[in-house]
Amino acid sequence: MGSGDVIVWDQGHKEKFNQQKWTVCLHAFTDLSHISPATFVFLLKECYICGTIKATMKFKVLQEYVELSLYNKPQSGPCSFIIQCLYILPLLGPVYTEGFSHLLLSSFRRFRKTEPILADDSKSKRLVAQLFLDVLATSIVHEERILVKILEIFDIGLEDIAEALCGSKANDAGLATAMAFVEQYIFSFTKSHSYMTAVTLLERFSIRLSGQSFLLKMMEDNQFKAAEKWAKFMGKPMLCLLIQKYLDMKMLKQAYNLVKQHKLKKEFPHVNRLYKESLVKKLVEEGCWDVAELSIQKDRQLIEYLVYLAMEACYTEKVDELCDRYSLQGFVNDAVPQVNPIQDHYLHHTELSLEDIVWVDEIDGLWSATSHIEGCKVIGLDCEWKANYEKGSRPNKVSIMQIASEKRAFVFDLIKLYEDEPKALNSCFKRILQSPQILKLGYNLQCDLHHLSYSYGDLECFRHFVMLLDIQKLSKDPRGGLSALTQKILGAGLNKTRRNCNWEKRPLSQNQIEYAALDAAVLVHIFYHVRFQPHPVDCKDERAKIGWKSHIISWADSNKARQDTH
């Protein structure tokens, strides 16, 4: 073939060439006695770029081959061979350097587990120490993580650094020189906010900095993992300082974990209580009262705290329930909760000018409610069901469904209506839910619709919905849910403390009914605010002006539909 000829490669030729290249590389790995580190690194790269296997799988395969290769008489011994390769790897460029460095070091670590005593250990330590110095001096470029990994795998101490610096066995003067040298670079790491690298080097070389400023600097920069590593290395006084700082910052989980890990309960006797109270409060704020109660495990103080939170939230039925269960009537008389400043901003149904909230659990009320709702152009829908906290268990049925217009709200007892009047329930709700004349609003509608179909799938009214609009789709920032959106649009959020209460208990309290009705009613008011809000003068896009209409959908339970066809 002449020099001017062009080789045309088809896919078959490429695959054959790649396979041959892979075979040549692996054959070279079987005897390293005549393979230089430079050649080894080149072959490693060729193996990696060969073929179409995913990178993760290639890494695992090559890791095994490199480990096996280290048994095949590498020049100057396995340790020195790997270090010489680490000197060469940066020549491949940053794309390969870090990945291949991890590959070689992890392979060597696995190899060393089966070969704990190696003849070239002393020589390799001198090479590693010199590599460390060259990396610090930036004459050889490696990532900080690789630097730390090298020191760990080869167990390099301050005496090894001193020997590399002074050229002889370390004495006191040599160790002092090495320590001053290392401290200089540790300071540069702290200056560049590489705190974890700095702490790892301080720990590796047993260098203890005086004062608290280093710890506080890390905490100011939110480098809490590095701060904990440093405090553990420095001992109990620094740990206690860190825990106190966590407490000052209200980071109770981190304080609790350190107290538990280092057996400092005597020094911080109240941390356990504070942490558990914070967990209970978080669950309560999410409306998970039953979970909060289960987590308490009959701890009297925490039970009293739970009652206190219920009183603070004006959740009177929960107060009565807990007091009755745990005989706490005397505690309630003595406890005077502070006024919750957030509570003043909760939206109340009277602020929406709701003229009536109607509980519907019998047929006459069902017909009357249907007649009123059919005369509305826009309604809000919401559902509630009893939360199920048992892992792996089936969810509970939808207990109530709320439908609200601008002036009235109806709360339907689905459990009772389904049991007593299933045909009437199906007929009435078909007229509402499948009417193309009524716009039906919800928030995170898919969840409610699927749960209705799951609960009462034999009723046709819950298999198909027409003219649906999910208010969540109109919110640019869905964080915080309906309560946050209500706060943004109407100026006050929703009290969610009753969200996960027992919705199957009858009768529901007046507070529960009002809470449920409000969730449906606010949807109508939010919609009218968005619908009639003036558009910006410079808005030329007609689609943006009527964007909410594009989100109107119909919905059908496809799973149920497929079941019905068989």
529 and 496 together in one domain:
yes
Structure tokens at 314: 């004006």
- Compute the 3-state secondary structure of the chain and give helix, strand, coil in percent, each to the nearest 5: 60, 10, 30
Query: Which residue in 495, 477, 476, 487 sits closest to 526, CA to CA?
Result: 487
455 and 558 together in one domain:
yes
Q: What is the mean pLDDT of the chain?
A: 83
The predicted model gives 388-394 an average pLDDT of 75
Last residue of a domain, one of 320, 340, 360: 340
Residue 407 lies in a domain: yes
What's the pLDDT at 559? 57
The range of the structural domain enclosing residue 91 comes to 11-156
Residue 426 lies in a domain: yes
Question: Which of 17-21, 154-158, 510-514, 537-541 is predicted least confidently?
Answer: 537-541
303 and 398 together in one domain:
no
**What gap in Å lies between CA 189 and CA 176, rounded to an integer?**
20
Residue 229 lies in a domain: no
Last residue of a domain, one of 109, 127, 156: 156
Residue 84 lies in a domain: yes
**What gap in Å lies between CA 129 and CA 115, rounded to an integer?**
21
Residue 6 lies in a domain: no
Residue 168 lies in a domain: no
The predicted model gives 449-473 an average pLDDT of 93
48 and 146 together in one domain:
yes
381 and 330 together in one domain:
no
Looking at the DSSP bridge assignments, the partners of residue 123 are: none
Q: How far is CA 157 from CA 170, 190, 339, 503, in A?
A: 11, 21, 60, 65
**What gap in Å lies between CA 369 and CA 371, rounded to an integer?**
5
Residue 144 reports pLDDT greater than 50: yes
Residue 335 reports pLDDT greater than 90: no
225-250 tens-digit pLDDT: 999 999 999 999 999 999 999 999 99
What's the pLDDT at 540? 46
Residue 563 reports pLDDT greater than 50: no
Residue 422 reports pLDDT greater than 70: yes
404 and 280 together in one domain:
no
**DSSP string computed for 250-295:** T-HHHHHHHHHHTT-TTT-TTHHHHHHHHHHHHHHHTT-HHHHHHH
Residue 253 lies in a domain: no
Question: Which of 187-201, 456-470, 531-545 is predicted least confidently?
Answer: 531-545
362 and 333 together in one domain:
no
Residue 198: pLDDT band with limits 50, 70, 90: very high
What's the pLDDT at 224? 96
**What gap in Å lies between CA 293 and CA 299, rounded to an integer?**
10
**What gap in Å lies between CA 162 and CA 172, rounded to an integer?**
10
Question: Residue 82 in contact with residue 64, Cβ under 8 Å?
Answer: no
492 and 405 together in one domain:
yes
Whole-structure pTM value: 0.63
436 and 480 together in one domain:
yes
Question: Residue 46 in contact with residue 62, Cβ under 8 Å?
Answer: no
285-314 tens-digit pLDDT: 777 888 888 888 888 899 989 988 888 777
Question: Residue 453 in contact with residue 420, Cβ under 8 Å?
Answer: no
327 and 353 together in one domain:
no
Buried b (16+ CB within 10 A) or exposed e, 376-403: bebbbbbbbbbbeeeeeeeebbbbbbbb
**200 or 334, which is more confident:** 200
Chain centroid, CA 389 distance in Å: 21
**What gap in Å lies between CA 151 and CA 146, rounded to an integer?**
9
**What gap in Å lies between CA 299 and CA 279, rounded to an integer?**
14
**539 or 95, which is more confident:** 95
Residue 564 reports pLDDT greater than 70: no
3-state secondary structure of 553: strand
The predicted model gives 133-139 an average pLDDT of 90
Q: Is 199 exposed, middle or buried (0-12, 13-18, 19+ CB in 10 A)?
A: buried
**E strand intervals along 392-504:** 398-404, 408-413, 439-442, 464-470
100 and 64 together in one domain:
yes
Residue 13 reports pLDDT greater than 80: no
36 and 146 together in one domain:
yes
Residue 7: pLDDT band with limits 50, 70, 90: very low
Q: How far is CA 80 from CA 121, 143, 271, in A?
A: 8, 20, 51
- Find where tokens 């090894």 sit: 160
Residue 491 lies in a domain: yes
- Indicate which CATH number applies to the domain containing 467: 3.30.420.10
Question: Which of 16-20, 32-36, 444-448 is predicted least confidently?
Answer: 16-20
Last residue of a domain, one of 287, 321, 340: 340
Q: Please count the structural domains in the chain.
A: 3
22-63 tens-digit pLDDT: 554 555 566 777 788 898 888 888 878 876 677 788 788 888
Structure tokens at 332: 């309630």
What's the pLDDT at 561? 44
